[in-house]
Structure 1
Amino acid sequence: MDHLAVQKEKQLSKKMKEHLQRFKTAQDRDYDTALAEIKDGRKQGHWMWYIFPQIAGLGMTEMSRFYAIKDIKEAGDLLMDPELGLRLTTICKALLELETNDPHAVFGSPDDLKLKSSMTLFDAVPATFPVFSRVLDKFYHGERDERTLEILGIK
């Protein structure tokens, strides 16, 4: 790779890290609480936007737009981030360990729908982790969120 290409790659990597920083900042504050709530079987706090992000175009509130994932590439970038990817897969594994398969019992409304769209998004990332599909199987009988798939151009 020539010098210019190396510089461009460094700039892109820096931009990616800066763009994902909004998730790290919020999760540093609330991730442990979110994980504990999931392990207890009931979401109590207000952390859904940045723990289980959705594709842009679904939520209309300021918070949902701020934490929306702009495209499949950004979803992949989040998964490839050592900290954010590990956090998301860990909390999904905690969901799989719950006795219930009722997302409404765990998340209430409308967060039960947000989980479905988040899992659909991350399951659509090429060569993704199988945990997202397993969450969809457990809580939604394998159904994907149609609107998320439409926005991604998959349906």
Structure 2
Amino acid sequence: MTDAPTDAQADDPFDLDRFVRAQQGVHDVALDELRRGRKSSHWMWFVFPQLAGLGRSATAVRYAITGADEARAYLAHPVLGPRLLAATDVAHHAPAHSADALLGGIDAVKLRSSMTLFARVAADPRPFFAVLDRWYDGAEDPATLRLLGERSGHE
């Protein structure tokens, strides 16, 4: 018996396909809910993932991003990267008066965490900082920064 990675593991070492599978048939629903200004179904974990160590539920653990390398791979993924950017843009322009009104309090915290993570690893962090600026007065999530080992502050 060998510990050599399978072809599937070599092609997808972070199992990003778990996000593709979870988003199937749900991603458009998520965008529609954001466009209407109120999230009403359950998709936050796999549309706006956050770092491992922040969520405790089985679903949060399943869809947690293990670190900066996996977050970069997520952004570079041919399906997930464009979907994240689309959802981020819709969240930025959503017709709501606050992130809490848009998502509910718990998921508003998750959005801040997700935007902080991807702002810190993206080649172009502007879309993610735009969401942080609009909904959180530009404040990044301190727990995400601590897990990444980074300091707060963007221009």
Q: Same fold (TM over 0.5)?
A: yes
TM-score (norm 1): 0.88
Correspondence 1:23 to 2:19? yes
Of the candidates 116, 140, 147, which is equivalent to residue 144 of structure 1?
Answer: 140
Q: 2:117 aligns with which of 114, 118, 121?
A: 121
CA–CA separation in structure 1 for the residues paired with 2:65 and 2:83: 16
- 1:95 is displaced (CA, Å) by 1.6
1:125: Cα distance to partner?
0.1
- Please provide the CA RMSD for this pair: 1.8
How many residues are aligned here?
A: 146
Identity of aligned residues (%): 40
Query: How do 1:1-155 and structure 2 match up within 5 A?
Result: 14-16=11-13, 19-155=15-151
> The residue matched to 2:38 in structure 1 has which SS?
coil
Contact 1:72 1:125 in 2 (8 A): yes
Q: Which amino acid aligns with 2:56?
A: M
The alignment's TM-score, normalised by the length of structure 2, stands at 0.88
Kindly indicate whether the alpha-carbon contact (under 8 Å) linking 1:120 and 1:144 is maintained by their aligned counterparts in 2. yes
Cα 1:98–1:11 shift into 2, 3 Å: closer
The structure carrying a bigger helix percent of its residues is 1
Give unmatched runs, 5+ long, in structure 1.
1-7
Q: Is 54-63 or 87-96 further displaced after alignment?
A: 87-96
Counterpart residue type for residue 14 of structure 1: D
Query: CA contact under 8 A between 1:101 and 1:138: conserved in structure 2?
Result: no
Structure 2 alignment gaps of length 5 or more: none
Q: Is this contact kept in 1: 2:36–2:95, CA < 8 A? A: no
